[in-house]
Structure 1
């Protein structure tokens, strides 16, 4: 697992400084995805694998000043970019492995995870760990600002059913890790899978 973490950290450390400038138009799609979580003032939400914190302003707006926003990421350089972009004021930034969130059981109302699933070392176990931190009935949003086909084309790859975000793979994965799938959207300009914490 340390090797997986090192690979992820190396990948994102090399890209942290110019990450936001590579994707300058993603802000509205993040805000729209956060809106689908239905967060209420006072809620507690984790941005799992928050990167440069692009979702944090929308999450803060959704939970209000009385809510709690946490952003956790494994890569120090990404968190440093979040601070430089002024997003550290929107929530508490944690250098942490989202597979072992430093949270008590049921502490969260929701988890927002942009681009996270393809970087999880052990997807079923890692999603189960996130589920433990969410209260029953709480929500998980697995988001990407472009859909699977558009992302594959961007990287010069063909669309594959082996992709963890493919509905046929994602639904059983969620069910086996403490989540009940609620909706699935895979369009050119957005990927968003919502799931409800069972139990």
Structure 2
């Protein structure tokens, strides 16, 4: 495992037990973001970097009992919290790295990723891997329950032009990774970038 992966596991591992309690009001933002993907009954969707699985019940509701919901995360403690919260009932939990998913090419209709992109050591490699497992015309949602400026303020840092999630940086990154960006919203109470898998 790389040093970057170890850092991510250490960061989230010690925070897993308190994660849901720390952000109790995020539910409506997650629900709205899942709704924006346009999932249909029977769809197959991955929550990449699912953490404690907060999106899994919403994803399950969107795809129905005939759909497939997977939650993948690099941190065992986060997946343990997801299971303890009963979210395994909404989707299968996988201990997996977003740069090497144990999934077939084109097997998914969509990927939902909350807060993932900021923690990727090589975003382009990971976005390409997400594109690999999504069928042509499938969808990607990059989400955060607060916008970039609010997140920077929460973390006590300045918002800079080199922020990877800034539209002028993210659009070319998505385009170079097999995705066609379709919408971008960076507001106080949400960040949501949507893209479609190119043929």
- Alignment TM class, shorter chain as reference: over 0.9
1:99 Cα offset (Å): 1.2
C-alpha distance after superposition, 1:7-28 (max 9, x if no partner)? 0000000100000000000011
| Correspondence for 2:143 | 143
How far apart are 1:35 and its partner, in Å? 0.2
Instruction: Give the superposition deviation at 1:162.
Output: 1.1
Q: Deviations over 1:118-155 (max 9, x none)?
A: 01111111100110100000000000000000000001
Aligned residues: 199
- CA RMSD of superposed structures (Å): 0.6
CA–CA separation in structure 1 for the residues paired with 2:161 and 2:70: 33
Q: Where does structure 2 lack aligned partners over 5 or more consecutive residues?
A: none
Q: Give the match for residue 164 of structure 2.
A: 164
Instruction: Give, in angstroms, the shift of residue 88 of structure 1.
Output: 0.9
Offset, 1:160: 1.1
Structure 2 match to 1:31 = 31
Instruction: Name the SS for the 1:36 alignment partner.
Output: helix
In the other structure, the counterpart of 2:78 is: 78
Moved over 2 A (4+): none
CA shift for structure 1 position 97 = 0.4
Displacement of 1:163 in angstroms is 1.1
Q: Tell me how far apart the structure 1 counterparts of residues 64 and 73 of structure 2 sit (CA, whole Å).
A: 22
Residues 12-161 of structure 1 mapped to structure 2, 5 A cutoff: 12-161=12-161
CA distance, structure 2, for counterparts of residue 36 and residue 43 of structure 1: 14
What's 1:10 paired with? 10
* Aligned-partner Cα distance in 2 for 1:155–1:132: 33
Task: For residue 62 of structure 1, report the CA deviation from its aligned partner.
Answer: 0.1
Please report the TM-score for the alignment, with normalisation by the length of structure 1. 0.99
Secondary structure of 2:118 counterpart: helix
How many Å separate the matches in 2 of 1:27 and 1:99? 27
Provide structure 1 residue ranges, at least 5 long, that are not aligned to the other structure: none
SS, match of residue 88 in structure 1:
helix
Give SS of 1:17's match: helix
d(CA) in 1 for partners of 2:83 and 2:161? Answer: 37
Q: Secondary structure at the match of 1:11?
A: helix
